[in-house]
Amino acid sequence: FTSTREMEIIKDNLSRIKVPGVGDKVFKDECFYSFDSPESPTGLYVCLNRWLGVGERFLSKYSNRTDNKVFLHIKRTRKEAKEEPEGVPEKVSRLAINMDGGFQTDKGVEWDEECKVVVLPNKDTFDITNPDLPMGVNLAIAGIRTAVSANKQAAIDAAQGTWDGEALVISKHAENLIQNPNPPKIPPKGWKCEFCDLTCNLWLNLTDGKIACGRKFFDGSGGNNHAVDHYKNGGGGGPLAVKLGTITMDGKADVFSYEEDDMVLDPYLEKHLAHFGINVTSCEKTDKSMVEMEIDMNQRIGEWAILTESGSKLVPLSGPGRTGLH
């Protein structure tokens, strides 16, 4: 039930009601003073002036201190889980939590959301579809409901810098990388290691254009170390190499620096690839990045199972040099 008096309070406070824009922080996941949230029994009240979430216990105190009287009340109720047959789990493609392609902890959880306009001091409520609500209130409600919450945005920003791998730095070799004259032209596909028969996990040396396989992993997979050996053994290779198959149309790819012994950024990658006739605008990602390979490795039963060679058929060995630690 809505009274004329409460509607007058809304109209009197219309100048204080603000519509959040792009980049504005909207705190709609948790109370500014407590751990109350929209999933709490009393829900969460979001101030239409400051976009701060306030729990019911602190609502009157907050209103008296700020003189803000109009709030959006958000209340979520968890739906009963539906029993679904287990299928093939969605493949994880990035180191992130509750983000597209990442590890999901809330998969299958659904919520019913109820929103009301609440006016203090009497906590009278209006349905958000009430035709008598001023346009400014409707716009503020729509802005709050569609905005990415400040907490979620902070989590996304943190995930981009942490869960997607360590922050890469620009290689000290990138700007003045030496590239040999008369380089080989690299085809768009059909690559093969020039030192063995491997056709995957291949790296193009950005100095001399040699294509060689990557490092051998601790579980025996990967390459035969030919790319790094080509550089370390003085075969003419330079310090930077790009993993073939990870080059995308926007000029991104896995780049490794042998001298810095780390994955790096090469802001001049497009120019360095053009030296070998590679046009990044026509490139398509066909191989796993190093992050994706690391995720796959961690998902294979578990790291301990890999270390103990669980599931592998082992050949008994004994005798001198076959037991103990090296």
Q: Assess whether pLDDT exceeds 80 at residue 78.
A: yes
CB 29 within 8 A of CB 152: yes
pLDDT tens, 220-259?
677 899 999 999 988 788 999 999 998 988 888 899 999 9
Give the residue among 215, 307, 216, 306 at the shortest CA–CA distance from 263.
215
CA end-to-end span of the chain:
80
Q: How confident is the model at residue 282 (pLDDT cuts 50, 70, 90)?
A: confident
Phi, psi of 276 (to 5 degrees): -105, 15
Which residues have a Cβ under 8 Å from the Cβ of 159 and sit 6 or more positions away?
96, 97, 99, 102
Kindly state the tokens that stand for 264.
């790096």
- pLDDT the model gives residue 279: 92
- Give the type of residue at 315: V
Give the residue among 222, 215, 221 at the shortest CA–CA distance from 241.
215
Q: Assess whether pLDDT exceeds 50 at residue 82.
A: yes
Phi, psi of 313 (to 5 degrees): -85, 110
Give the residue among 228, 252, 248 at the shortest CA–CA distance from 239.
228
Q: What is the 3-state secondary structure (H, E, C) of 70-106?
A: EEEEEEEEECCCCCCCCCCCCCCCCCCECCCCCECCC
- Give the type of residue at 79: K
β-bridge partners, 264: 255
Residue whose tokens read 């008296």: 64
Rg over alpha carbons for the chain, rounded to the nearest Å, is 29
Find out whether the peptide bond into 121 is cis, omega within 30 degrees of 0: yes
- pLDDT the model gives residue 85: 52
pLDDT tens, 12-60?
999 999 999 877 999 999 999 999 999 999 999 999 999 999 999 999 9
Higher pLDDT, 315 or 283: 283
- pLDDT the model gives residue 95: 54
pTM: 0.48
pLDDT tens, 112-158?
999 999 999 999 999 999 998 999 999 999 999 998 888 877 765 55
pLDDT tens, 158-188?
544 344 456 778 999 999 999 999 999 999 8
- The conformation of residue 320, written as its DSSP 8-state character, comes to T
Spatial separation of the C-alpha atoms in residues 280 and 291, rounded to whole Å: 21
